[in-house]
Structure 1
Amino acid sequence: MGVKRPQFERRSGVCLSVSSLDEVWMDVSAEEEQPGRSMPIPSRASVYAEVNQQKPREYWDYECHMIEWGNIDDYQLIRKLGRGKYSEVFEGVRSPLDEKCVIKILKPVKKKKIKREIKILENLRGGTNIITLLDVVKDPISRTPALVFEYVNNTDFKQLYQTLTDYDIRYYLYELLKALDYCHSQGIMHRDVKPHNVMIDHEKRTLRLIDWGLAEFYHPRQEYNVRVASRYFKGPELLVDYQCYDYSLDMWSLGCMLASMIFRKEPFFHGHDNYDQLVRIAKVLGTEELFEYIDKYQIDLDPRFNDILGRHSKKRWERFVHSENQHLVSAESVDFLDKLLRYDHQERLTAKEAMQHPYFYPVVENEQRNKQDLGASVTNSGTPGNLNAPLGTPLLNNSGAVSSPPPTTQSAQS
């Protein structure tokens, strides 16, 4: 929001070295410091807040990380899969076994950013539904680094999401939550959760959370750059320039994905720019609730919102139900969505809490049934046993009101 000088990040009142210079380099269009501007009230993650303090410094101090380079001659590019702001992605093969892999060739970026992504991927290696980093190589002439990943036979989400059943949506979101709870438990925020970064092999029913280029280590009360995440999935905290955010940012992004999937509206909040993005959110969640949020944390709202925000009442979720999506919407899905899309980041469900929501009972029941049938743990690529499990009550009752969700009395631990 405007042009901003690089912000030194603070933790426990001590000025640290700029740990987000790479983010400033990515986008330096944040707002100029305003004289006399009050400091917002700091916030702290409700879970996993002290994870990094309990680990050795080398776990999170990525600037000191020494990269172990592999042999680039072991790989051959086959075809281009796509490109992003900071990289080009190719399908490749690894010799001598001709194993398929994905090779992400990085565009010129700060070495610090590369180190952060590599260190986070190495820390998370082996985590549930986290994309596996296989190798890191560098072109000997151009010195261009490349990351080598496991191959996922992904189906483009714009095609896939239109075919998913109610159960499929629950199943894949549950798998995504496993990845989010794991990375959060390791002290890491993803900060770019969106459909483009969720690879799904629908035939194998496997999911991988990819692209950790914007991910960051969480430290309590540290201020972070708000120029992260993609516009349609940015949490309100980013849009109001609240820098003391935490893992709950990822839960807002997950809520945006859920809304787009069950209402068949992609993206659900479709802003033309970052300012309009908050306006689109306010038109659904209400402006009164937004002002309660900024008052709670003493956030100074950018004056540019004065002319565009207006006044809006909170909308009922059933207003988004129509004949094309009603089979995907239930009382549980709406209750779950309502607990994710909250202005106040402290009020959102954590990933662990989300996995225990009644929305996922059919998935959990099938997972437990499969474990019993197999007599052993089900792997990440396991297929749910009973795809015809009951999926809860319809969203609308005969009077057109939202039906009540079932009581949350049964355990749904994964």
Structure 2
Amino acid sequence: METDVVSNYWNVYHPGGVRGPEAEPYLEQKIAALIQELPVLGELFDIHWKIGEGTFSSVYLATLKESRSSGESKKFAVKHLIPTYPPARVERELQCLRNIGGADNVVGIEFCVRSGASVAFVMPYIRHTKFSDYFCNMGTVELKHYMKALLTALRKVHMFNILHRDVKPSNFLYDRRNRRYLLVDFGLAQEYKEEKKVEMNKPQPMDNYCVKRKRTDENKRELLEETQKSETESRCYCFGKPRVCSLCLTRPSQIASRAGTPGYRAPEVLFKCPHQTPAIDIWAAGVIMLCILSASQPFFRSPDDCTALAEITALFGTDKMIACARKLGKKLLCSEQVPGADIVSLCQKLRARVDRFPNRKYRINSPKTVLEENYPPEAFDLLLKLLEVDYKTRITADDALQHPFLRGL
């Protein structure tokens, strides 16, 4: 609700937590600076307050000045990008909003404003409820509609070969009163390209076959000796030791995207896999569902990638994670073997924990006890398919919408 958005601004976005009249000058300065950079916004809109803030942008609530006479006050979200934001990202985000947005719960764009290095997107605004107000008291039917809306949005995005790369509750707006949904923030979106498959043992043309076979036979022994020699020289002996050999220091560093919010990154992102697929968005959707089923938010509280891998390993077991790392060409060492947890019983225990702590911040507001809200087995089956650690066998958004838990809505 809008009152929640205002209080959220005072609590989160203002430095030092200053509230009331003391915070008004700061807000007025921010809005004045925005209008000074983009004068056309001041001509068209009344900008009220900041409703969101990220690393590269700030989002403001605005209403059309023309609507004041009619009394309608149509609302818009104005996303102002920082001047140092890379132009390529601005172009990619704008293309996503124009080509994908406007349908299937994906945010669209009304128009874009630019003056010098300052850019702002004017987008539709929906009033939305904070995730902390509903994640722990969402029933089965509401969960079905919520997950169907999220997966529908992701299916639409993936149809355009785009990875959102930052799926999380604050980027999936939910108007609980009117049951409206909106996937927002394509600032980290990236185009997805199919991984090139190398054809092994490709047959050679018959004209050249005899010549190449003869040349290989003549140099076979010499080539084998050179290969064995190079393998011996390139073998690393510092693995597992408190030092780094000169060979490892000369090797190129691994380059892989680590975009996304901690706690919602997929295993292949944590393993620094260079080729990332739409499956990373599906994993993030699974984490959101896990938060709801367990009434725990955030579920993963990882300060770094190593801790994140340890948390996932504790949930799914060392065997699964070691096999996942091996398929990605990595090696995962664990100090002990962990069998993995039973997801159903774990979620039930975590939900029951809420009632035992009356002073807990996120207490269940439903008159029913937590244990009376028993989610069906199909919900946990879908959860496990969304959180499959191997991205190649992880369910797609299209297949997830055909799952028995969501079928028939």
TM-score normalised to the size of structure 2? Answer: 0.67
Give 1:310 shift. 4.0
CA–CA separation in structure 1 for the residues paired with 2:56 and 2:275: 25
Please give the secondary structure, in 2, of the residue aligned with 1:337: helix
Alignment map for 1:11-410 (pairs within 5 Å):
71-72=40-41, 73-97=43-67, 98-107=73-82, 108-138=84-114, 140=115, 143-221=117-195, 225-300=256-331, 306=333, 310-320=336-346, 321-322=348-349, 323=352, 325-326=370-371, 327-361=373-407, 364-365=408-409
Give the superposition deviation at 1:71.
4.4
Letter in 1 for 2:128: N
User: CA contact under 8 A between 1:263 and 1:329: conserved in structure 2?
Assistant: no
Query: Shift of the alpha carbon at 1:281?
Result: 0.4
Which of 1 and 2 has greater Rg?
Answer: 2
SS at match of 2:392: helix
Q: CA deviation at 1:297?
A: 2.9
Whether the 8 Å CA contact 1:70–1:136 is kept in 2: the answer is no
* 1:7-55 superposed Cα distances (whole Å, 9 cap, x missing partner): xxxxxxxxxxxxxxxxxxxxxxxxxxxxxxxxxxxxxxxxxxxxxxxxx
Per-residue deviation, residues 243-265 of structure 1 (Å, max 9, x unmatched): 21111111110110111101101
CA–CA separation in structure 2 for the residues paired with 1:245 and 1:328: 35
After TM superposition, which residue ranges in structure 1, 4 or more long, deviate above 6 angstroms? none
- Report if the CA contact (8 A) 2:49-2:61 is conserved: yes
Offset of residue 95 of structure 1? 3.4
Task: From the superposition, tell whether residues 328 and 96 of structure 1 become closer, same or farther in structure 2 (CA, over 3 Å).
Answer: farther
Whichever residue aligns with residue 339 of structure 1, its letter is K
How many Å apart are 1:238 and its aligned residue? Answer: 0.5
SS at match of 2:178: coil
| Mapped contact 1:131–1:150 kept (Cα < 8 A) | yes
Q: 1:70 to 1:289 in 2, by over 3 A?
A: farther
The residue identity in structure 1 corresponding to 2:133 is Q
> CA separation in 2, counterparts of 1:114 and 1:300?
37
Quick one: distance in 2 between partners of 1:300 and 1:215?
29
Distance 1:319 1:109, change over 3 A: same
Tell me how far apart the structure 2 counterparts of residues 284 and 234 of structure 1 sit (CA, whole Å). Answer: 15
| Cα contact 1:237–1:245 (8 A) shared by 2 | yes
Secondary structure of residue in 2 paired with 1:91: strand
User: How far 1:99 sits from its partner (Å)?
Assistant: 2.0
Query: Which fold has the larger relative contact order, with Cα–Cα distance below 8 Å and residues 6 or more apart in sequence?
Result: 1
On the 8 A contact 1:224/1:244 being kept in 2, the answer is: no
CA shift digits 1:141-177 (9 cap, x unpaired): x642111110110111111223322211111110111
Matched residues, number? 288
% of aligned pairs identical? 25
Q: Distance in 1 between matches of 2:326 and 2:402?
A: 31
Q: Are the structure 2 counterparts of residues 197 and 79 from structure 1 closer, same or farther at C-alpha, using a change threshold of 3 Å?
A: same
The one-letter amino acid paired with 2:97 is L
Output the amino acid matched with 1:356.
Answer: Q
2-structure distance, mates of 1:272, 1:234: 12
Residue type of the alignment partner of 1:317: I
- 1:52 is matched with which residue? none
Tell me the distance in 1 between the aligned counterparts of 2:272 and 2:400.
26
Q: Could you say what secondary structure the match of 2:182 adopts?
A: strand
| Paired amino acid for 2:403 | H
The gaps in structure 2 that reach 5 residues or longer are: 1-37, 68-72, 197-253, 355-369
String of CA shifts for 1:299-330, please: whole Å, max 9, x gaps: 255xxxx4x76431121113311336541532
Q: Residue 50 of structure 1 aligns with which residue?
A: none
Following superposition, the deviation at residue 70 of structure 1 comes to 11
TM-score relative to the length of structure 1 = 0.66
Higher helix residue share: 2
CA contact (8 A) 2:256 2:273 kept: no
SS of aligned partner of 1:284:
helix
C-alpha RMSD over aligned residues? 2.1
